Amino acid sequence: MAASPPQHLLPHHPRADPRRLSHRLTIASSLSLLCCSLVYLLSGLCASELTDRNELRPSTRDLLVPGPDWPYGRNRTSLVSLAGGEGAPGSGQPAQDSNSSGREWTASRKLPQALIIGVKKGGTRALLEFLRLHPDIRALGSEPHFFDRHYARGLDWYRSMMPKALGGQIVMEKTPRYFVTVDTPARVHAMSQDIKLIVVVRDPVTRAISDYTQIISKTPDIPPFETLAFKNHTTGQIDSLWSPLWIGLYAQHMERWLAWFPRAQIHLVSGERLISDPAGELGKVQDFLGLQRIVTDKHFYFNKTKGFPCLKKPEGSSKPHCLGKTKGRTHVSIDPEVVQKLRDFYRPHNQRFYQMAGQDFGWQ
């Protein structure tokens, strides 16, 4: 007959002790309840964190939708912009949204609350691309030219061109030609009396040469700068109606805007300081837009090869970014005597502009 093991070595069968069993069951169910609560709490936290990141603060990378001068294609929007080119409002189709991974159903298309209205060759692309780093700004990559060329398409069309934005975000676009087109101030005013207007101004002589450099790069057969700049080269009479010179009559253009908007609603950016101190100029623009100063000197570095400030690695990207090669190009060389004549021509106009602006931009 086989011997039974001693009683204390026998496996303890629960049924053998109902009191212990119920005690253990109570502990087990309390533990599982605690675990469930913990899992629930943690998943809730994760969900709300995702919501914050995607809805309230789309990543900087999502906001870096390249415009025509921004050589880093990323999605279909940027290709549409690139295809449209500067001055073309894309395909006329509603804007594709850059932040397709985000919770777009909470975002909507709104009319812009801020515009970069000029000036051509002032540094408007640099300003727009730098502002885009701000999570509270949604900016259209291409120039829609709504108020100067496509006004007849109506505000619904204009709205449909804008990128989707969340509640607190500011929608903006840049079309440098607005500053000099006669009907634009009244049209902008009819859309919004509160809109914030930004003008990047640059020494009008350098600006004119920059403008001409672009024109001759597209149409190499045009006459020399001197021929177009003077009505009569011998008498030195300037042709102020020649577009590259006419655009530089800032006081004249500013006067038209001031007939519709108070001075406080127009912010002037120095094109020269945008190059020498981009963070300083961006700080003032962010203040003007009522935004937190998020774009700071941490975002910029000076690229010696390009000779201009560029962006350090934007969030989510491993590469620094500079503007495209049509920005910051070598200007055609102009006879210094001609340059001096132009400086003399602009001096009184610049003085008048400084008075209107309440700011001396230090052009010679």
Ligand X SMILES: Nc1ncnc2c1ncn2[C@@H]1O[C@H](COP(=O)(O)OS(=O)(=O)O)[C@@H](OP(=O)(O)O)[C@H]1O
Would you say 234 is a known binding-site residue?
A: no
- The smaller minimum CB distance to ligand X, of residues 177 and 341, is found at 177
**In the complex, minimum distance from the CB of residue 120 to ligand X, in angstroms, rounded to a whole number:** 4
**In the complex, minimum distance from the CB of residue 274 to ligand X, in angstroms, rounded to a whole number:** 5
Number of residues that bind ligand X (CB under 6 A): 18
Structure letter (DSSP) for residue 299:
G
Cα distance between residue 107 and residue 166, in whole Å: 5
Would you say 123 is a known binding-site residue?
A: yes
The 294-333 contact track toward ligand X, x by CB under 6 A, reads --------------xx-------------x---xxx----
The 124-163 contact track toward ligand X, x by CB under 6 A, reads xxx-------------------------------------
Interface residue with ligand X among 109, 121, 321, 341 (CB under 6 A) is: 121
Residues 176-195 binding ligand X (CB under 6 A) are: 176
Q: Is the omega angle on the peptide bond into residue 182 within 30 degrees of 0, that is, cis? A: no
Q: Give DSSP secondary structure letters for 297-345.
A: GGGEEEETTTTEEEE---TT-SS-B---TTSSPPPPP--HHHHHHHHHH
3-state secondary structure of 334: coil
3-state secondary structure of 139: strand
Q: Which two tokens stand for residue 208?
A: 């004119």
- The smaller minimum CB distance to ligand X, of residues 251 and 275, is found at 275
Would you say 331 is a known binding-site residue?
A: yes
Q: Which two tokens stand for residue 30?
A: 């309390």
Interface residue with ligand X among 102, 123, 144, 185 (CB under 6 A) is: 123
**In the complex, minimum distance from the CB of residue 86 to ligand X, in angstroms, rounded to a whole number:** 6
Q: Which two tokens stand for residue 153?
A: 């398409």
Strand partners, 308: 303
What is the residue whose two structure tokens read 């809805």? 55
Q: Which two tokens stand for residue 49?
A: 């964190």
- The smaller minimum CB distance to ligand X, of residues 57 and 273, is found at 273
The 203-222 contact track toward ligand X, x by CB under 6 A, reads -------x------------
- The smaller minimum CB distance to ligand X, of residues 181 and 210, is found at 210
Would you say 329 is a known binding-site residue?
A: yes
Cα–chain center distance at 67: 9
Cα distance between residue 362 and residue 86, in whole Å: 30
Would you say 210 is a known binding-site residue?
A: yes
**In the complex, minimum distance from the CB of residue 53 to ligand X, in angstroms, rounded to a whole number:** 29
The answer to whether the beta carbons of residues 120 and 177 sit under 8 Å apart is: yes
Would you say 141 is a known binding-site residue?
A: no
Which is nearest to 309 in space by CA: 294, 317, 318, 299? Answer: 299
- The smaller minimum CB distance to ligand X, of residues 126 and 289, is found at 126
Would you say 319 is a known binding-site residue?
A: no
Strands (E), the chain: 108-109, 114-118, 137-139, 164-165, 170-174, 196-201, 230-232, 237-238, 266-270, 300-303, 308-311
Cα distance between residue 278 and residue 300, in whole Å: 8
- The smaller minimum CB distance to ligand X, of residues 229 and 323, is found at 323
Residues 56-95 binding ligand X (CB under 6 A) are: 86
Q: Does 120 bind ligand X (CB under 6 A)?
A: yes
**In the complex, minimum distance from the CB of residue 200 to ligand X, in angstroms, rounded to a whole number:** 6
Cα distance between residue 154 and residue 157, in whole Å: 6
Active-site choice (110, 120, 121, 284): 121
Is there a catalytic annotation at residue 164?
no
Q: Which two tokens stand for residue 180?
A: 């000099």
The answer to whether the beta carbons of residues 80 and 137 sit under 8 Å apart is: no
Residues designated catalytic: 121
Binding residues: 121-125, 202, 210, 327-331
For ligand X, the binding residues (CB under 6 A) are 86, 120-126, 176, 210, 274-275, 308-309, 323, 327-329
Binding residues for 3'-phosphoadenylyl sulfate: 121-125, 202, 210, 327-331
